[in-house]
Amino acid sequence: MPLSDDSWINGNQSSTNFGEGTALSVHNYGPKQALIRFESSAIAGKTVSQATLRVYLRTIGAAGQLSVFPILLPWSEEDVTWSRQPATEYAPASTVALATSMAGGIVSIDVTEVVQRWSTGQIADWGFLLSSTNPIKATFDSKERSGGTPATLTVSTVDAVQDLSRAKVLDLSKPEGCVIGEPGLYVLDRNWAVSGGEESYAQVACHAYIDEYVTHVVRVAANGVTLDFRGYEISGPGYLSGVMLSITAQNVTVRNGTVTGGDIWDGQGISVSGGPEGASLENMVIGNGVNLGSRTSIRFSRIYGPVRVYENSVVEASDIRGNLELRGDISEIRTSRIYGGGSTFYSAAVHIYGARNKVLGNSIRCDACRSGIYVEGSGNRIATNTLEDLGGYSDTAILVSAGANQIDSNTIMPGSFSSCVVFTMPGSYFGGNRCPATAPVVGAADQVNWGGNVTY
């Protein structure tokens, strides 16, 4: 696959671009991290059986681990810097051991699982980030090195025919087609629109009275259901006050489509309330927000509207354009883009009411937020996020009004928030955060300071 971009970034030179360099540096000091991207359009829709990333290790100072993370957001070698680096997945896709004896040779890394997700559209191909927590002081050849050996990505594919023989086609023109009452695989074979009023029966007969008071359009009522939209959508007129897709069962997967068109204030795109085994929403576009019950995940999706998350749920690698609330405990929000805002006193892009939640590696942007992240519960970890104020009207990047929270390794973009972190209660832990000189930390004297905080 063609190599399109490569560069590296340095935490000690946060605004410097190294896209024209002949080497890609990786080291835990700085830290220094390399970014590599390939053109993958040729594998779209194909079945990937094997994918291997190969990089030429030019020099290495000490043995250590090299980790490879999928990059989730756009970047280019001409303008990527540490302060404008793209988000990655929280966990590495692969880790390999480097020895000093490997200098001057090729390092091969298995990235099959990531490239399979590129080919199916689960995540976009924005390449890989190479990182290390060890003092390896390694350099790899970039494509700008004359006579060098730039990175390659070798992909093997096999022909595959999608097996839909066992799938049931969802027919929303019949009332019985609008409630899924048996386990199995269901698919859409067309777009469905709910227009409201009596004319709704021309397309959708999914409720006895489909009007502005609709309770749901489609309901999944059986455990063990997979609903594959196959790129199609279920849409409403924009004023339905109920739920477009209601999931009241467990072990449900909904993927590859669009659900949108409920009322912007009262409606919900998708509601999950099935029980402790929850549901998975993958590669979806969801309008008017999501209400997540216990043990639910959203992955690789775009959500327009507020998101409410309850117990043991995960939001990962998604794009959320609406405030996100963690109302329960032990949930994770990671490697997602979140755009929040509002004029109310309590408005926050991410609002945490519960305990033992994790908000990790997200890109959080505010427009007139009281805070980017507002923490009211205890025992939560807020780490490795990047926060930015888009309009210059936001107040605090991270507001913590409870004790025993951990705030570490976050980056607050300059020229935005008036305060970096504000603690109103004692007993939290913080360290390794990067704050602009114009955005102070308030209440730090009553917290446990782990050090490593940087003002720039």
Domain CATH code at residue 137: 2.60.120
Are the beta carbons of 446 and 423 closer than 8 angstroms?
Answer: yes
Asked whether residue 120 falls in the same domain as residue 205, the answer is no
Domain boundary among 124, 158, 192: 158
Q: Residue 137 above 90 pLDDT? A: yes
Same structural domain, 292 and 353: no
pLDDT at 100: 93
| Residue 191 placed within a domain | yes
For residues 154 and 186, membership in a common domain is answered with: no
Phi, psi of 116, rounded to the nearest 5 degrees: -60, -40
- DSSP helix/strand/coil, 37: strand
E-strand ranges in 176-215 read 179-180, 184-187, 192-193
What is the C-alpha to C-alpha distance for residues 339 and 319, in angstroms, rounded to an integer?
Answer: 8
Q: Looking at the domain assignment, is residue 313 inside a domain?
A: no
Range of the domain at 333: 323-456
Residue 282's pLDDT band (boundaries 50, 70, 90)?
Answer: confident
Per-residue pLDDT tens digits for 52-109: 999 999 999 999 999 999 998 889 999 999 988 998 888 899 999 999 999 999 999 9
Would the pLDDT of 317 be above 90? Answer: no
Rg of the chain, C-alpha, whole Å: 24
Asked if pLDDT for residue 214 goes beyond 60, the answer is no
**184 shares its domain with 68:** no
Is residue 51's pLDDT more than 70?
A: yes
Specify whether 176 is located in the same domain as 252: yes
Residues 104 and 80 grouped into a single domain: yes
CA distance 61 to 55: 17
Do 197 and 298 have their domain in common? Answer: yes
Q: pLDDT band for position 364 (50/70/90)?
A: very high
Q: Is residue 446 part of a domain?
A: yes
Which of 158, 189, 215 is the last residue in one of the domains?
158
Shared-domain flag, residues 116 and 216 = no
Residues 451 and 370 in one domain: yes
* 217 and 137 inside one domain: no
Question: Which residues, 6+ apart, have CB-to-CB distance to 104 below 8 Å?
Answer: 57, 58
pLDDT in tens, 159-213: 444 455 678 998 887 777 788 999 988 999 888 877 654 443 334 555 433 334 4
Most confident of 73-87, 145-159, 280-294: 73-87
Percent of the chain scoring above 90 in pLDDT: 43
Residue 247: both structure tokens together: 């999931």
Number of domains composing the chain:
3
Q: Are residues 181 and 281 in the same domain?
A: yes
Is the domain of 258 the same as that of 205?
Answer: yes
Is residue 314 a part of any domain in this protein? no
